[in-house]
Amino acid sequence: MGARLAVLCAALEASRADLLSVLDAIPDSELEGHFDAADVLWRVGLIDDWTRLVIDQALDGRPIAAAPVRARPAYLRSRELLRAWLDQTRSALLARTRGMDDTDLAHEVALPSGARATLGTLLAAALDHEVECRGALRLHARTADDRTP
């Protein structure tokens, strides 16, 4: 693994650790409801899964499939299960990413939308998405007390 990939993997690991610390700060009563934190966390994991699949497809020379739209399973709402989901999806993405080299980051793919992007851009976008979701969850956790009657 090259230096650029090492930096990217470290950023992905640090971002996930930060996200999990925000999850710990969300009251149980706020995991589902008007602002469904569990749904946000489900989508973060879906982005990990899709990004890993795109890397697999691209480096194997296959066409890129559209991201599957999957609703969060009803049972996936406890803090422990959400943590397990996020650990599973990030571990798989990191394992796949660590098998790449820096030149793979420049590998360009045609997305189902017709847009073109490099694998490095897609990994950075997954990281950006997580950072944005973490910010929304952090704000939600900070204001939870304001919503309690």
Residue 144: pLDDT band (50, 70, 90) is low
Residue 106 has pLDDT above 70, yes or no: yes
Tokens representing residue 148 in the block = 């309690």
CA–CA separation, 97 vs 55, rounded Å? 8
Residue 61 has pLDDT above 50, yes or no: yes
Tokens representing residue 54 in the block = 């795109």
The pLDDT, as a whole number, for residue 30 is: 72
Q: Contact at 8 Å (CB) between 109 and 119?
A: yes
Question: DSSP assignment, residue 68?
Answer: P
Q: Contact at 8 Å (CB) between 98 and 1?
A: yes
Range of the domain at 136: 3-147
CATH of the domain at 46: 1.20.120.450
pLDDT tens digits, 4-38: 999 999 999 999 999 999 888 887 777 776 568 88
Q: Contact at 8 Å (CB) between 82 and 23?
A: yes
% pLDDT > 90, the chain: 68
Q: Position of tokens 């996020």?
A: 86
What is the count of structural domains for the chain?
A: 1
Question: Which positions ≥6 away from 109 have C-beta within 8 Å?
Answer: 54, 57, 58, 64, 116, 117, 118, 119, 122
Residue 128: pLDDT band (50, 70, 90) is very high
The pLDDT, as a whole number, for residue 149 is: 46
CA–CA separation, 93 vs 77, rounded Å? 22
